[in-house]
Chains A and B, each alone.
Chain A
């Protein structure tokens, strides 16, 4: 498990900067040292007379090679510095090539039932299966665990999603149809039967929200604190709202949104997940907006949104709606990175490279050219194997909390800039009031509640 962060966005993509800076310096110094070795060998060769001609020839040849290696090593140091600057472009070219290959794959699958949509559905289905079953048991078949926690599968999902915008329209419209009760496309229905979520209700419902608790707290001062305060949606409530006056006397809010739970009868469920991803109605987003209105947040009051998993997608949709004055967004393992939000809103998106959930949004560098949107990635399984029998381990909330703490410590310029833009306005003059809201679905024949935690 690496403590090193991979930072992208902020207009430019960077990679583990501290170690790369050290590499550049090492290569430059090595070039200087090799020039010294060249000079030393040349001086030695000059001392050797003709009687030891063979030894002299060898050392002269060695000095020539050393000079050449010294020059090329110093050039390499310069090239590495330039390569880092051009990394975004290089990676995007590589991604375009990968997308072209994936498109070819999808095109070649036209003979399959449903063609490209079939492949896309299978991939999304695998994720849905993982989500659904993680809530059931927290474990799964060994092979599925390895796959679901693998960076290769995550990359494949990102690439296929990036190439399948038009193909996804089929499944998305089918899902919307399923939720609205209109006729359902046969393939889509078959897909849900196949992936085992057919028993899950995908029909949207009205929702209610109720304030469950209020307490006084100190406003958060770090990314780690922001992330740690995201509520566990299977606990008291799915929404936490902190309100306080900032140093200028302005009222401010921080809205924390939890991740999916499969507790029945509440809207932080798969129905909302699909609605959020399809850009359709989602009960959880409606509930969050209702809670904000109940709390008295005015349209011009600066709001910082913080969301884990589904909570990140809800936050993005709320900002996209334009109803709120977004002052910042922190997402954690969110599948909503491709939801368009204004470019003047500072964003920090935490993603683990093996986490399938954020991969559903497509490539991790979708905001690479946006100066205020920074994606902070971390690899969990570079030194150890992912657990073979656990699903979505890379989506683990505790691991993300640690990643946020690492981002508090990093000196990467882009993270520092986004961190300050998000955190500095949160400097409260007094105590903040934290309210927890609980949302429920309004269902005619409410079935008995089964509480299971997803995270």
Chain B
């Protein structure tokens, strides 16, 4: 028998999982924006350094998105 608190908690987890999923979608869009920065269309030492830095930032951003995604999965599981 679920108590009122259990029901409320599951409702909260479900809502939080939804919010986390929205953040994941948002971060996927940011990753696509970051991809567009990698190729500047010109070459040279400054351009190469810029591209390398963007690649590192993209890796960190992808890691952050994965963390939020796993958090969303855990929250969704806790809502069931």
Residues of A contacting B78 with CB < 8 Å? 51-52, 55
Residues of A contacting B54 with CB < 8 Å? 76
CB-based contact A33/B16 at 8 Å: no
User: How far is the CB of B78 from the nearest CB of chain A, in Å?
Assistant: 5
CB-based contact A86/B46 at 8 Å: yes
Give the size range of A's interface with the partner: 35 or more
Which residues from 100 to 133 on chain A have a C-beta closer than 8 Å to any C-beta of chain B?
Answer: none
Query: Please, which residue of chain A has its CB at the minimum distance from the CB of B46?
Result: A83
Q: How far is the CA of A275 from the CA of B72 in the complex (A)?
A: 75
Residues of A contacting B74 with CB < 8 Å? 52, 54-55, 58
Other-chain contact of B45, A19, A41, A91 (Cβ < 8 Å): A91
Which residues from 58 to 72 on chain B have a C-beta closer than 8 Å to any C-beta of chain A?
Answer: 60-61, 63-65, 67-68, 70-72
Q: Give how many B residues have a beta carbon under 8 Å from the other chain's beta carbons.
A: 39
Residues of A contacting B71 with CB < 8 Å? 54-56, 58-59, 62
Residues of A contacting B20 with CB < 8 Å? 44, 55, 59
**Residue A293 CB within 8 A of the other chain:** no
Which of A59, A79, A83 has its CB near the most chain B CB atoms (within 10 A)?
A59
User: Are A69 and B75 CB-contacts (below 8 A) given A44-B19, A90-B45?
Assistant: no
B35-55 interface code vs A (CB 8 A; 1 in, 0 out): 011001110111101100110
User: Are A51 and B30 CB-contacts (below 8 A) given A37-B23, A44-B16, A58-B70?
Assistant: no
Residues of A contacting B23 with CB < 8 Å? 37, 40-41, 44
Q: How far is the CA of A47 from the CA of B11 in the complex (A)?
A: 13
> A-B contact count, CB below 8 Å?
116
Q: How far is the CA of A37 from the CA of B61 in the complex (A)?
A: 11
CB-based contact B42/A15 at 8 Å: yes
Query: Please, which residue of chain A has its CB at the minimum distance from the CB of B63?
Result: A65
User: Are A37 and B30 CB-contacts (below 8 A) given A59-B20, A59-B67, A65-B63?
Assistant: yes
**Residue A398 CB within 8 A of the other chain:** no
Which of A62, A65, A80 has its CB near the most chain B CB atoms (within 10 A)?
A62
Residues of B contacting A59 with CB < 8 Å? 20, 67-68, 71
User: How far is the CB of B39 from the nearest CB of chain A, in Å?
Assistant: 10
A37-61 interface code vs B (CB 8 A; 1 in, 0 out): 1001100100110011011101101
CB-based contact A65/B26 at 8 Å: no
One of A22-30, A337-345, A423-431 at the interface: A22-30
CB-based contact A48/B68 at 8 Å: no
User: Are A65 and B67 CB-contacts (below 8 A) given A15-B42, A54-B74?
Assistant: yes
CB-based contact B44/A87 at 8 Å: yes
Other-chain contact of B61, A15, A34, A44 (Cβ < 8 Å): A34
CB-based contact A20/B40 at 8 Å: yes
Residues of B contacting A48 with CB < 8 Å? 16, 75
User: How far is the CB of A55 from the nearest CB of chain B, in Å?
Assistant: 4
